[in-house]
Structure 1
């Protein structure tokens, strides 16, 4: 269960209902740790003596997880700190050896004290190193995590021609650092807490104080607090548990693997949700128009970015309506077609034994199978097999008389238009809705398509993303926000943040209009 709420206590949540505190005896503590981990070979427990030889010493224990912690660095830092400050005798004779170690001997960034076993287990399994001293009922957690990670690479799902090539990785601290590199402001706040009774996955929320909508921020905290689950393995778990509407094909939470996209969202007043172990960061609230906007829109000229956005919305209607319109017109409304085109289509369909709807469904399902196979197959052959398979199967189906050439063209244009959207999950939504509209077109013609579109628009108007209307700024219609929806006006005109997202700090900053150069 999360503990993001400011009204709740920030104590660690136990893996077990009862909390067992550390004992003053080091031997008892180490034995309980060995029993709790079942003598696991990757849990390393070392014992050593703090103090000079011949002058007495203090027995200490060193616990870490091999492969997750850079324990050698901490151990060398501890010993070097003791030798440099000549504190080894003081540690052995002091009444507060933990304080001396924490304040003087450990030259690492994050050092804190713990007093119970559950906090110790969480720290060890998170990659931290725990130091226990004999005679002390508390331990020291030294944060020096040292696991191997993928590093910062180019995003694979959201590529750009012009713009940064950095993408998030699976390590939470690398991801937060990538965002802080772009927003160097102390008002960029980060709250981190574990979620999941067993996995104890670190989940962080990041926002800019003074810009964020406080109502949205509190709603994010409350929804994360209500999560009661044993494990979180990816941000998709969080997305499904906190989304506004479950039974909708449209995504109400935006996900991205680009740090610049998250930084831009934070500057607009959104809240970012980062989950350790995944390169995909969630952003809320998410609007319908946001899924048609790419990071590259803000790096290109405004006129070219506007053209690309119009192209994406046009591709949206093609991917959604092209097969259903073809079915409705060829089945019920042949009078809408020019006579030469109608004769050509009739000649193509002369030997086809199936109605247009069955043709479209067969081709759509075939293409979905090829697309999924191309994703799951090894990268070296997946793309080539999917392309060759599409060409071969389409040509063979036409020659066998199973489908008409016009239907192959319609399905191909539909599939290509589906890849135009920057957000992959919006493309999935359109693929699902397309089959429903095809059924309505086959049953009622253009009237059925109209009813389906009206129902879809009504459903979109009913959606909310953390209290913000999903179709903002189209419904409700906000004139001032139209400058960055379908259109992308010049940079010097983007003076205000979205009205419903950021209600406290609405002005981005005074930007001067570029002057025309005067050449004498």
Structure 2
């Protein structure tokens, strides 16, 4: 054992030393010697044909060597030609070409202040920042004798236009969704919240991908402890690459081994804006249209933005419908198995006789029958998603109808089981949150096994275990089942029921613990009648 531990320790030490060595190579400062710095850049990108290095001279009499480096396809070549090359190669001839000015820091300040007409510029002092700027679409400007380079914002690449959300459609409400460009996404949020207290803090995550991640919140409303916890968990991430918000979600969630999502994700700007106004924190990741929002509560998965765009009575009815569909999706097959296997006395006699007649030729018990149908439907659903869009939906619907009818005629399953599984599957589509729908689909099989083993007693045990698990969950320190557990009377107004907006005067208490008042309209105010 001691030999194994020694080998493991030495291997770990080698990995750490190798990592430090790699970091030291890229974090070397610029030397200021034009030929040496440019040679290192050429060596780094010698097999990258899309990285362009253009050398030229500044000045007319005492000429100074200079170069620009950018990535073709990520940088806007028109902006580079108009706002950088023309300025440096043509307008620079008008400067005071004395040797003192050209070979001192004055030329760097003069280029930044007077020549470059791009949106933003920044000084770069090490190779790590230099490579990041080049591969992010910026243009890096080198000047001989300067230990600092200039990074000019010239990034521009093809991107998807703002379109209607694909996974969160509404009948009434905004029809815009986030795109893969993080800067466009932050602009969509600022378009809805025009307040200087809306802060956007940005960082890079991923040793290789260097993915841009932004944390947005409203100062004065948000709980500072939640913001601090978000930054702590993000800074703790040390991984090669972040390609989608799901990577961040998995790395910062409170509980790993739980089927329930403790971080909410959406592609709708209005949902993020509403969450920020409640005191939540949004996490935006470059390269994905899905934005994370924390803390997330259980009841949040049954709410849609459209609930706040129509009358309170309609919204309340639809929310209650979603709760009923949640119970059907979770317990529908389980109750059928328990009733037909252990508790026949609970069924009316005509219904019991009808079910017995249908199951007369079925060779399998109710649990196996339900398991066959559920697995078949899951296969059809997954096939419909993965197949080409033109035929996927048709194949899944036709496949379900044909297979269901053929299974009944062949005597493999009963007609009543087909009805139960179909209603269960349709109820699962009612959930607004796709992550929650997947969780219920997995838990359904566990409840079916408990019902087949112990009947209604098994279902009761499963529900109690599920309730205990839900009450043990936290989302960035906030109880997952709030405001039911702990019970908060004022926050119940916007859970299963949705009170009229004039009665929703306060923010969720556990999420925003200061500046809790958000609606200043008197609850008893009525419009004055016309004379």
**TM-score, length of structure 1 as denominator length:** 0.95
Residue 315 (1) aligns with residue 325 (2): yes
Q: Deviations over 1:428-449 (max 9, x none)?
A: 0000100000000000000000
Residue 66 (1) aligns with residue 72 (2): yes
Deviates more, 1:71-80 or 1:380-389: 71-80
Query: d(CA) in 2 for partners of 1:208 and 1:218?
Result: 14
Q: Deviations over 1:76-128 (max 9, x none)?
A: 11355569976743477522211111111111222100111111001111111
Residue 198 (1) aligns with residue 203 (2): no
Query: d(CA) in 1 for partners of 2:482 and 2:22?
Result: 42
Query: In the alignment, which of 284, 295, 299 is matched to residue 289 of structure 1?
Result: 299
Q: Which residue of 2 aligns with 1:437?
A: 447
Q: Deviations over 1:363-404 (max 9, x none)?
A: 000000000000000000000110000000000000000000
Q: Which residue of 1 aligns with 2:337?
A: 327
Higher helix share: 2
Q: Which residue of 2 aligns with 1:515?
A: 526
8 Å contact from structure 1 (residues 51, 89) kept in 2: yes
Quick one: higher RCO (CA 8 Å, sep 6+), 1 or 2?
Answer: 1
Query: d(CA) in 1 for partners of 2:56 and 2:476?
Result: 53
Residue 391 (1) aligns with residue 401 (2): yes
Decide whether aligned partners of structure 1 residues 422 and 92 sit closer, same or farther in structure 2, where only a CA change above 3 A counts.
farther
Residue 278 (1) aligns with residue 278 (2): no
Q: Which residue of 1 aligns with 2:41?
A: 33
8 Å contact from structure 1 (residues 203, 274) kept in 2: yes
Decide whether aligned partners of structure 1 residues 80 and 333 sit closer, same or farther in structure 2, where only a CA change above 3 A counts.
same
Shift of 1:176: 0.5
Residue 97 (1) aligns with residue 107 (2): yes
Query: d(CA) in 2 for partners of 1:221 and 1:416?
Result: 40
SS in 2 for 1:238: helix
Q: Which residue of 2 aligns with 1:6?
A: none
CA RMSD of aligned residues (A): 1.6
Query: d(CA) in 1 for partners of 2:217 and 2:206?
Result: 23
Residue 450 (1) aligns with residue 460 (2): yes
Q: Deviations over 1:462-484 (max 9, x none)?
A: 00000000000010010000111
Query: d(CA) in 1 for partners of 2:263 and 2:391?
Result: 33
Q: Which residue of 2 aligns with 1:4?
A: none
Deviates more, 1:470-479 or 1:16-25: 16-25
Shift of 1:256: 0.3
Shift of 1:300: 1.0
Describe how 1:200-239 pairs up with structure 2 within 5 A: 200-239=210-249
Query: In the alignment, which of 157, 170, 184 is matched to residue 167 of structure 2?
Result: 157
Q: Which residue of 2 aligns with 1:180?
A: 190
Describe how 1:337-416 pairs up with structure 2 within 5 A: 337-416=347-426
Query: d(CA) in 2 for partners of 1:90 and 1:187?
Result: 45
Residue 299 (1) aligns with residue 293 (2): no
Q: Which residue of 2 aligns with 1:22?
A: 30
SS in 1 for 2:95: helix
Residue 118 (1) aligns with residue 124 (2): no
**TM-score, length of structure 2 as denominator length:** 0.93
8 Å contact from structure 2 (residues 59, 92) kept in 1: no
Q: Which residue of 2 aligns with 1:7?
A: none
8 Å contact from structure 1 (residues 210, 504) kept in 2: yes
Which structure 1 segments of 5+ residues have no match?
1-12
Query: d(CA) in 1 for partners of 2:374 and 2:361?
Result: 20
Decide whether aligned partners of structure 1 residues 26 and 62 sit closer, same or farther in structure 2, where only a CA change above 3 A counts.
same
Shift of 1:51: 2.1
Q: Which residue of 1 aligns with 2:5?
A: none
Query: d(CA) in 2 for partners of 1:139 and 1:404?
Result: 75
Describe how 1:36-51 pairs up with structure 2 within 5 A: 36-51=44-59
Q: Deviations over 1:162-209 (max 9, x none)?
A: 111110001110101100100111111111111111111111111111
Query: d(CA) in 2 for partners of 1:167 and 1:400?
Result: 47
8 Å contact from structure 1 (residues 24, 137) kept in 2: yes
Shift of 1:38: 3.0
Shift of 1:31: 1.5
8 Å contact from structure 2 (residues 253, 262) kept in 1: yes
Query: d(CA) in 2 for partners of 1:468 and 1:91?
Result: 64
Q: Which residue of 2 aligns with 1:75?
A: 81
Query: d(CA) in 1 for partners of 2:219 and 2:22?
Result: 33
Decide whether aligned partners of structure 1 residues 126 and 15 sit closer, same or farther in structure 2, where only a CA change above 3 A counts.
farther
8 Å contact from structure 1 (residues 71, 129) kept in 2: no
Query: d(CA) in 1 for partners of 2:528 and 2:365?
Result: 64
Decide whether aligned partners of structure 1 residues 71 and 441 sit closer, same or farther in structure 2, where only a CA change above 3 A counts.
same
Shift of 1:213: 0.7
Q: Which residue of 2 aligns with 1:56?
A: 62
